[in-house]
Amino acid sequence: MPREDVVARDAAGNVSPPSGLITVTAVTGASPTSTPTPPPGDILPPTRPAGLRDACLQDYRGVTFCWQPSTDNVAVTAYDVYRETATGYVKAGTVAASTFPNFAESGLVIGQRYTYVVVARDETGNMSSPSDPLSALAREGLPMPDPVCSVSYRAATARRPRR
C-alpha cells in the first residue's frame, strides 16, 4: 500500500508541516506490471530531524535551537522551520544544511515559550516527516557591551638628560 505525507496550504501561502506518513489504499488507477519501472530521479525523503535542543546560542536575544543533521540518499539541502500559532503552523524560516543545523528568531516576547517543528528537504524537493515539537523559550541573551568607546592619550615632549 502506498504511504504519503499530507501538507496543507492556505490562500496566504502558509504551509502546514507535513503530516506523519499515512497509508492509502488505491481503489482506482494504474495497475501493476510484472517489471515496474522506478520513477526517474530521487524519490527518497531525508530522515526526520531529531534531537532538537533549546538555547544552543546563549548570546542571542529571542529563540535559538539546534538539532542533529538529517541524512539523505543524495543530500539534504535545507531545513524548513515552522512555528505554531493560534491558527496553525507558519513557516518561520529556512536554514541551509550544515554540520551544526540551528535556527534563531528575534522579535518575540521575552519569557514566552514558542513551539517549533523542523522538516528536512533534499535537492529534489522531497520532505522528511516533521521533527517532534520543541517548546523553546525566548531569552534576553547576554548583555551587550556599551558601544561607546573612549580612547585618550597625553602628548609629552621628550627631555634630554642633563650631563
What is the pLDDT at residue 44? 94
Question: Which class for 130: exposed (0-12), middle (13-18), buried (19 or more C-beta within 10 A)?
Answer: buried
Pairing of strands 63-68, 102-105: antiparallel
**pLDDT tens-digit profile of 89-141?**
999 999 999 999 999 999 999 999 999 999 999 999 999 999 999 999 999 98
Whole-number Å distance between alpha carbons of 124 and 142? 40
Cα 69 from chain centre: 10
Confidence of residue 1 (pLDDT cuts 50, 70, 90): very low
Please give the model's pTM, rounded to 2 decimal places: 0.66
Whole-number Å distance between alpha carbons of 84 and 105? 13
Whole-number Å distance between alpha carbons of 100 and 108? 23
Which amino acid, one-letter code, is at 21?
L
pLDDT reading at 35 higher than 60: no
Residues 79-89 have a mean pLDDT of: 96
Domains of the chain with bracketed CATH: 48-137 (2.60.40.10)
